[in-house]
Amino acid sequence: MTELARALEQLRAPDEERYGGKSASLGELIAGGIPVPPGFAVSTAAFEAFLAAGSLRETVAELLAGVDPEDVGAVTDASAAVALAMRRTPVPESVSAEVEAHYAALAAASAKRQPPVAVRSSARGEDSAEATFAGQQETYLWVRGTDGVCEAIRGCWISLYSPEAISYRARMADSGSPPAMGVAVQLMVDAAVSGVMFTCSPLTGDPSVVAINASWGLGLGVVGGEVTPDDFLISKVSREVLRATIADKAVEYVPDPGGRGTHRVAVAEPRRSAACLDAEQLRALVATAAGVERHFGARQDVEWAIARTGSLPENLFVLQSRPVTATAKAGSQAVADRTGLDAMSLVLSTFGVKPQRD
């Protein structure tokens, strides 16, 4: 019997194959003692079950057959047709039953009848080139009820067929396995402030600092680039704030007053131009960043939120973490030029004497 869903805390790195990178990494974070909002993961098998229901797999193949990846109009039309077909297909009962059970468990844990959750796609090979489409894969915030969650899960699946994803796969002539995706469902953090942080300098790769971007409200603004976030650079060694650039944060995302979804609102002064993190929060974030990096043994790009209610450290949550692969290794050439030389040659080179290598 193929597993359709599992609690996040029971997932580990090897589960990526069946649950996608995001869910597996959330499981790893929990195992590492990192505070992650509780939740569950939906497996790729659930997506397979969805495709198997009706004749969706064949319909999709048909709609995509012969689409020229360079023909933007054709790709867009095909994408819309696939989305329509998928939206007409209900989530299989086997899947919705699992979702219902896990959602009920979350409701019990949070002591709320219909707790709001975040539903995010969890692609396989998150750090592969395909992961650059992570931005086009859907995230649904403030979702309530089993039906709502199932609908959001289907939305994530549909995002696999965005025009960009279709043409990318076509260009790669990816004749291998058809696309598949897991989904992560987590209790929503009602964030007072949220953002992302790197456990190294994103510009230089310097491993002695944590770089934090933060803005008011839910994380959409920072992740989506709609807000210029406050920018902090903090020494891991001394925990001092080395640089702080406080930005004009014009908007924030808050839960929709209707109880479902999110809502973009203007930020008024003085909050707008005030630092959105204080010294204590920065310290807690740096400690968390160090914990995440230690657990994975590699530089990480961490999405985080601090809840409106509760107090530090309990109200600080890590929403996801990915390895940092894109930054240059700090001053690697300059360092390579200097290593292996004795101190004397190096001092002489400070005064303009070119070092001699043996």
Residues in contact with another protein by CB under 8 A are 201, 204, 206-209, 233, 235-238, 240-244, 330-331, 334-335, 338-344, 346-354
SS3 211: strand
Decide if 129 contacts 164 (C-beta within 8 A). no
**If you count them, how many residues does the chain have?**
358
Buried b (16+ CB within 10 A) or exposed e, 125-150: ebeeebbebbeebbbbbbbbbbebbb
Toward another protein, which CB reaches closer, 1 or 343? 343
Toward another protein, which CB reaches closer, 175 or 238? 238
Closest C-alpha among 223, 204, 205, 203 to residue 213 = 223
Closest approach, Cβ 141 to another protein, in A, equals: 33
Decide if 94 contacts 4 (C-beta within 8 A). yes
User: Cis peptide leading into 270, omega within 30 of 0?
Assistant: yes
In whole angstroms, what is the distance from residue 327 CA to residue 207 CA? 11
In whole angstroms, what is the distance from residue 213 CA to residue 65 CA? 43
Q: Judging by beta carbons within 10 Å of its beta carbon (0-12, 13-18, 19+), is residue 9 exposed, middle or buried? A: middle
Helices 44-52 and 93-110, axial angle in degrees (round to 10) = 140
Toward another protein, which CB reaches closer, 237 or 266? 237
Closest approach, Cβ 331 to another protein, in A, equals: 4
In whole angstroms, what is the distance from residue 224 CA to residue 232 CA? 19
Toward another protein, which CB reaches closer, 156 or 197? 197
Closest approach, Cβ 350 to another protein, in A, equals: 4
Closest approach, Cβ 333 to another protein, in A, equals: 9
Toward another protein, which CB reaches closer, 178 or 207? 207
Closest approach, Cβ 246 to another protein, in A, equals: 11
Toward another protein, which CB reaches closer, 13 or 336? 336
Closest approach, Cβ 341 to another protein, in A, equals: 7
Q: Which H helix or E strand runs over 22?
A: helix 21-31
Spatial strand order in the sheet of 191-198: 241-245, 230-235, 209-216, 191-198, 300-307, 316-323
In whole angstroms, what is the distance from residue 190 CA to residue 196 CA? 16
Toward another protein, which CB reaches closer, 2 or 208? 208
Closest approach, Cβ 356 to another protein, in A, equals: 9
With the C-alpha atoms ordered 126, 129, 135, 138, is the resulting torsion angle positive or negative? Answer: negative
Closest approach, Cβ 273 to another protein, in A, equals: 16
Closest approach, Cβ 290 to another protein, in A, equals: 11
Toward another protein, which CB reaches closer, 206 or 256? 206
Toward another protein, which CB reaches closer, 177 or 238? 238
